[in-house]
Amino acid sequence: MSGLSTKSLASWRKAHGFGILDIISPRGEYFLVETRAMNDPADFKAWAEMSEPRLREYLVERGLSDSDVDEAIQLSREWATTITGLHTFP
């Protein structure tokens, strides 16, 4: 996909009931996944850190097709967040 995405993470979250964030940090790429549907995004206990293979498995378990999984990961990468410090979520 080239250019800017017409989809937002917020619209994906609304359509699927949970959110996915792609984090690029000094230790590499990982995904934060909202594990309790539609909670307050500031509630870090509602988010789980996952590698890409684990995220793919999780999304299939939630009923997404392979193409929907690819689209979700691509969208989260388009909106990736880069952090410069080492931070782990509780």
20-75 pLDDT per residue, tens: 999 998 888 999 998 876 666 666 677 889 999 999 999 999 999 999 999 999 99
Does residue 32 sit within a domain?
A: yes
Domain that holds residue 48: 9-82
Supply φ then ψ for residue 55, to 5 degrees: -60, -45
Does residue 4 sit within a domain?
A: no
Query: What domain count does the chain have?
Result: 1
- Is pTM beyond 0.85? Reply is no
Structure tokens at 12: 């994906």
- Asked if residues 34 and 46 have their Cβ atoms less than 8 Å apart, the reply is yes
Does residue 88 sit within a domain?
A: no
- Asked if residues 59 and 51 have their Cβ atoms less than 8 Å apart, the reply is no
